[in-house]
Amino acid sequence: MKNTQNNYTVENAISPLDGRNRHKLENLHLYFSEKALFQNRVNVEVQYLIFLSKYKIIRRLTRDEIEKLNKIKNDLSYSEVRTIEKRTNHDVKAVEEYLKTKLQETSLKDVEGMIHFGLTSEDINNLAYASMINGCIRFEILPLLQNIVLRLKRDAGNSIALSMLGRTHGQPAAPTTLGKELIVFIKRLEAEIEELSTAQLHGKLTGNTGGMNVHKLFFPTIDWIDFSRNFVSSLGFVPDVATTQIQHYDSYIRIFQTLLRINNILLDLSINMWTYIMIGYFQQKVIRQEVGSTALPHKVNPIYFEGAEGGFEIANALFEMYARKLSKSRLQRDLSDSTVRRSFGIAFGYSILSYQSILHGFMRISPNKQAILRDLQDRYEILSEPVQNLLRIRGKKNGYDLVKQFFRGRSISKLDYKKFIQKLPITEKDKKLLQKLKPESYTGITKHSIT
């Protein structure tokens, strides 16, 4: 088989994330590519060496030497690291050897032997992955989610007074307003976005099986618990010192489950919007040069809401698997989590694509006010609710059954409704109250701003 490894192009990419959708995910490689993983590993190794100097385990590093270390991190040569890895067959060992080679070219060659001192690969990996996840959430995920909320708030404000037929079990029910229905999603999203924005990833630097054995043996006077906590905190993570070889993934899982809930809320929104478009409550923007169907030229399809739905299903399948898989490890360590971690970018990528699709979908639709009101105005059967409840209030026995016998399973006209009310055993004042009701005015608190 011909080796085309060095001839990558978008058109021969296997994953849609790196292929047809790459232009929509320009920044994703900054967080979840192999190069990004190596860069974050190098950063942890570099910061560790600097911390060894702070605690006087190695000689004091000058400001110029610290700058050189950071430059090595920023100027990482992915190809060089990969060349080393092909020999070592170990990615973190390749990072260690790469750094040693680079230090040999500087005044730091006398401390190159202390790179990775007393550490295990997972001391590096857990902090590297935490940095990748944290960066993607902060700079990519949260801004998109906040834009979705802003878009929903704008549309909700414009339609808070637009009465709309409610549907429960798919059947006509008490009226609502379009704006209120959007506010429901806003409130759900805001609660989860708050969870996501305040979530804290944990990290560890505790050695081979969690005891910093080598550290304590050779430098017994150092407070290594203090060292570990301060080092992890300096990278922006909550330190754990009671660990096995790995950092348990509980903080990762909390974030994945929050993202899963966010995605499910937006999946629900996508399905609702698709349904409203189907029944004509929304008009879709017609773009002249686009094609909706190869068979039916008239069609304008709600492809962005459909695309978001599919993307959320893929992302959530992975997030669910992460929560199941990463909560377990065989004794102090097994390697199966390493394979799983490398797929994080897929779950984040499909989530981002779906967030973008939601925004595109809302840009292409507008409420069909006439259709919404027309559908509602003809539904006097939904006023069975206030009628039967007034009979309850007035103490009329069998009031519910009386209303049920007239209304159930029927489409009731305005005239039929008024005739029915006129025959009820209630006062003229109560009859006037009920006869003044219209489906479009029976909206309760929903025409007010619900905060």
Average the pLDDT over 38-60 and give the result: 97
pLDDT tens digits along 144-178 = 999 999 999 999 999 999 999 999 999 999 999 99
Residue-range domains of the chain with CATH: 14-114 (1.10.275.10), 121-290+297-368 (1.20.200.10), 378-441 (1.10.40.30)
Mean per-residue pLDDT over the chain, rounded: 94
User: In percent, how much of the chain has pLDDT > 70?
Assistant: 98
DSSP structural state of residue 18: T
DSSP structural state of residue 10: G
Average the pLDDT over 317-336 and give the result: 94
| Residues contacting 274, CB < 8 A, separation 6+ | 302, 305, 306, 309
| Rounded (10°) angle between helices 91-103 and 78-88 | 120
CA distance 303 to 365: 12
| Residues contacting 72, CB < 8 A, separation 6+ | 42, 46, 99, 102, 103
pLDDT class for 1, splitting at 50, 70, 90?
Answer: very low
CA distance 71 to 302: 49
Average the pLDDT over 323-343 and give the result: 93
DSSP SS3 for 115: coil
CA distance 437 to 447: 16
Query: Lowest mean pLDDT: which of 7-21, 244-258, 415-429?
Result: 7-21
pLDDT class for 451, splitting at 50, 70, 90?
Answer: low
> Are the beta carbons of 299 and 293 closer than 8 angstroms?
yes
CA distance 371 to 365: 14
Residues with a known catalytic role: 169, 293
Instruction: Quote the pLDDT of residue 9.
Output: 81
Query: What's the length of the chain?
Result: 451
Average the pLDDT over 430-451 and give the result: 87
Position 195, amino acid = E
| Rounded (10°) angle between helices 250-278 and 344-363 | 30
**pLDDT beyond 80 at 450:** no
**pLDDT beyond 80 at 215:** yes
Which position has the higher pLDDT, 5 or 365? 365
